């Protein structure tokens, strides 16, 4: 049983809900929205992360919503002190990808790493990527964490520092901003005026408006920078813009 105020629920569809969590069970959580008394249920399989008001967080992985251990979510503080690694030529690191909700101005570590993993997988499919040695994400994230760099502050760190921290001469930095537009549609099966058993259903529709910011650096110089909005408005449409830019960047 957890009772927290101003808790943030990060869903796997990138929606963030500010609520009071009243119960965490094996397969669902119960929560209340601000200024409401109604209790809502949410399947844990739909949750990426819960950030509690006390600075703790809880991540959820797996199709069945298996829980990970609690971790401290206090902001990392980068002080410019790091162990310098010799830069290896023709190497590429992919930074965590912040997802910035333009309405709540919040983001999620889980979203940043899921997106980073998706981009990593797609980069390996590029025709000319064998020109580069792509750094394993575990190595990238471990080196960043050692230097007190997280998805929250990675876009504030000088590229020259990041290259020395990661030991690479090419860095791909992507950021995604988005808003969610919700609408409802009602479907009536039967005639309400003559049929007391007419079936009325309401569907919640969501549209995602993404902007992808794409920056590629080589030897401390920005060699390619673009921003792009995807044509479609589905929850994974941001990746369409990333793939478009990848194929037109110097990487391919």
Q: What is the pLDDT of residue 62?
A: 45
What is the mean pLDDT for each group of 10 consecutive residues in the chain (252 residues)? 62 80 84 84 83 74 42 56 90 94 72 92 92 95 92 90 96 93 63 53 74 96 96 90 95 84
Question: Starting at the edge strand that comes first in sequence, how are the strands of the sheet with 56-61 ordered?
Answer: 40-43, 28-32, 16-24, 7-11, 47-51, 56-61, 66-72
Q: What is the pLDDT of residue 205?
A: 72
Q: What is the pTM of this model?
A: 0.65
- Read off φ and ψ for residue 241, nearest 5 degrees: -65, -40
CA neighbours closer than 13 Å in the CB half-sphere of residue 240: 13
Q: 125: which residues sit within 8 A by CB, 6+ positions away?
A: none
Strand, coil or helix: what is 18?
strand
Query: Rounded distance, CA 29 to CA 89, Å?
Result: 49
Q: Which CATH class is domain 88-179+207-248?
A: alpha beta
Q: What is the pLDDT of residue 110?
A: 81
Q: What is the pLDDT of residue 133?
A: 96
Give 58's strand partners.
50, 70
Strand, coil or helix: what is 118?
helix
Nearest to 107 by CA among 5, 175, 24, 205: 175
Q: What is the pLDDT of residue 144?
A: 94
Residue ranges of domains in the chain: 7-72, 88-179+207-248
Task: Name the token pair of 223.
Answer: 């060699």
């Amino acid at each position: 049983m957890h009772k927290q105020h101003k808790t943030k629920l990060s869903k796997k569809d990138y929606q963030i809900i500010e609520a009071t969590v009243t119960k965490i069970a094996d397969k669902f959580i119960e929560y209340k929205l601000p200024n409401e008394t109604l209790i809502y249920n949410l399947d844990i399989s739909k949750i990426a992360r819960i950030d509690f008001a006390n600075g703790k967080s809880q991540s959820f992985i797996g199709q069945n919503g298996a829980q990970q251990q609690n971790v401290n979510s206090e902001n990392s503080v980068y002080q410019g002190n790091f162990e310098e690694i010799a830069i290896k030529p023709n190497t590429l690191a992919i930074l965590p990808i912040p997802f910035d909700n333009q309405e709540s101005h919040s983001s999620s570590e889980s979203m940043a790493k899921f997106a980073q993993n998706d981009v990593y997988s797609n980069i390996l499919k590029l025709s000319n990527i064998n020109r580069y040695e792509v750094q394993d994400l575990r190595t990238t994230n471990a080196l960043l964490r050692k230097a007190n760099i997280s998805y929250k502050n990675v876009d504030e760190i000088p590229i020259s520092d990041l290259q020395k921290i990661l030991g690479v001469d090419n860095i791909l930095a992507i950021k995604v901003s988005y808003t969610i537009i919700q609408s409802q549609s009602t479907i009536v099966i039967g005639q309400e005026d003559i049929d007391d058993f007419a079936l009325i259903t309401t569907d919640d529709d969501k549209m995602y408006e993404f902007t992808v910011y794409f920056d590629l650096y080589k030897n401390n110089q920005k060699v390619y920078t673009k921003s792009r909005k995807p044509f479609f408005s589905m929850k994974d449409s941001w990746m369409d813009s990333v793939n478009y830019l990848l194929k037109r960047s110097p990487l391919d």
